[in-house]
Structure 1
Amino acid sequence: MKKQKIEISLEVFETISELPKDIQELMNKAQQARENAYAPYSRFRVGTALQLASGEIVLGSNQENAAYPSGLCAERVAVFSAGANFPNQTITSLAITVRSENHEISEAIAPCGACRQSLAEYEQKQKSPIAIYFMGETGEIIKVASVMDLLPLGFDAKYL
């Protein structure tokens, strides 16, 4: 037996103002989208904004349902909307922010596993990385250069 270690590289920004101007705008749009979340059950609002190579910005917010599996996370709302409305566009970056109605979240919250898998599919499809920036309601912003930094040993079509 041998052991292997998997490491990722990430960047940490103390405030939104430290981000590049275009990413500041993207995070501000994600914060606005977060307020449109439909989260009556969890009271946990998530907003996303993704940028396409054309400059177009696509928003997403979590959409819950009393039948829990029927809801959809903000990241998948945005990426599926981009795929449906801009099928030949490359996604360059994605900003994610969260807010709880129950307490302040000051740590960066990464996408769930299902969203990581969905985002990885689009990254593989377009053959170029998607930079992901994520944060809580306040606090540091974390950047990873690729979805695969969040999903090492991911599953893809080559296994089918």
Structure 2
Amino acid sequence: MKEIKIETTLYIYEDLDALPKDIMLLMQKAFEARKNAYAPYSNFNVGAALLLDNGEIITGNNQENASYPSGLCAERTAIYYAGSQYPKAKIVRMAISAGSKNNQTTKPIPPCGACRQAIAEYEIKQDANIEIYFMGETGKVAKSNSLANLLPLGFDKSVL
């Protein structure tokens, strides 16, 4: 038997003010998107903002449905829109902010598993990493240089 050790590296900023200005502006776009989320069942609003290599910023927010599997997360809403409208553009970075109407979120909240898989697909498709910044409503901001840090041993087309 052989042991395999998997390590992840994240970078933590103490708050929004510690971010580079361009990242802070992208996170502000995620905040704005979060305000428009439709989350009457979970009361958990998420906003995402993507910077494309053509300079476009795409936003998305979660859209729930009484039939839970029919809803869509903010990250995938933004990614799929970008893929639909700008199929040749690469996603350079993503900012995510999540907040609950039930209690204040102050720690970084990463993408869910389904969103991690979708982001992984786009990293593979574009053959380039996507920087991911994520946070709650306030507090620290986490940065990952690639989705691979958040989804080790990912599933991709090589196994099909």
Tell me the equivalent position of 1:59.
59
The AA in structure 1 aligned to 2:119 is L
Tell me the equivalent position of 1:18.
18
In structure 1, C-alpha distance between the alignment counterparts of 2:111 and 2:47, rounded to whole Å: 11
4+ runs deviating over 6 angstroms:
none
Query: Any unmatched runs of 5+ in structure 2?
Result: none
Count of residue pairs the alignment pairs up: 160
Identity of aligned residues (%): 57
Tell me the equivalent position of 2:41.
41
The AA in structure 1 aligned to 2:61 is S
Tell me the equivalent position of 1:117.
117
In structure 2, C-alpha distance between the alignment counterparts of 1:39 and 1:148, rounded to whole Å: 28
Aligned to 2:110, what secondary structure does the other structure show? coil
In structure 1, C-alpha distance between the alignment counterparts of 2:23 and 2:108, rounded to whole Å: 16
Deviation, structure 1 residue 2: 2.0
Aligned to 2:107, what secondary structure does the other structure show? coil
Matched, 1:108 2:86: no
How do residues 1-160 of structure 1 correspond to structure 2 at under 5 angstroms?
Answer: 1-160=1-160
The AA in structure 2 aligned to 1:25 is L
TM-score by length of 2: 0.99
In structure 1, C-alpha distance between the alignment counterparts of 2:26 and 2:3, rounded to whole Å: 40
The AA in structure 2 aligned to 1:4 is I
TM-score by length of 1: 0.99
Give the stretch that moved more between structures: 67-76 or 17-26: 17-26
Deviation, structure 1 residue 15: 1.2
In structure 2, C-alpha distance between the alignment counterparts of 1:9 and 1:43, rounded to whole Å: 31
- 1:51-84 CA-to-partner distances (Å, cap 9, x unmatched) read 0011100000000000000000000000000000
Deviation, structure 1 residue 105: 0.8
In structure 2, C-alpha distance between the alignment counterparts of 1:23 and 1:95, rounded to whole Å: 8
CA RMSD in angstroms comes to: 0.6
In structure 1, C-alpha distance between the alignment counterparts of 2:53 and 2:18, rounded to whole Å: 22
In structure 1, C-alpha distance between the alignment counterparts of 2:10 and 2:44, rounded to whole Å: 25
Give the stretch that moved more between structures: 15-24 or 82-91: 15-24
In structure 2, C-alpha distance between the alignment counterparts of 1:18 and 1:78, rounded to whole Å: 25
Query: Any unmatched runs of 5+ in structure 1?
Result: none
In structure 1, C-alpha distance between the alignment counterparts of 2:2 and 2:87, rounded to whole Å: 43
